[in-house]
Structure 1
């Protein structure tokens, strides 16, 4: 058996082993039948109304100053 054939065979075997383990883990998870509920989230806090769209920030002003030729 050539080296290439051995590498292909080992890769295929590793894939099939992983597939079998994943399906086994899925079966165990399905058999237990217990689900974990997500914690109850509070209502989001509304932010104060601010201007939407483009606005100049200190970061943008610094960029404009450095970009001038």
Structure 2
């Protein structure tokens, strides 16, 4: 089993569920300043990549459905 401390796991879980803004709020409210950057950067990267993947899937569905 991976050895991940509870703070990192909590912030990562919050970033997956609520995005970078809520993960940032969790990290700062608990005083985990070393987790502020890791809370924000992957979430913003996910937003950036997700937009392009969503556009590609939308175009692919349009082609697949003949629109």
The two structures share one fold, judged by TM-score above 0.5 = no
Identify the structure with the greater helix proportion: 2
Please give the range of the TM-score, normalised by the shorter of the 2 chains.
0.3 to 0.5
Larger relative CO (CA 8 A, sep 6+): 1 or 2?
A: 2
TM-score by length of 2: 0.40
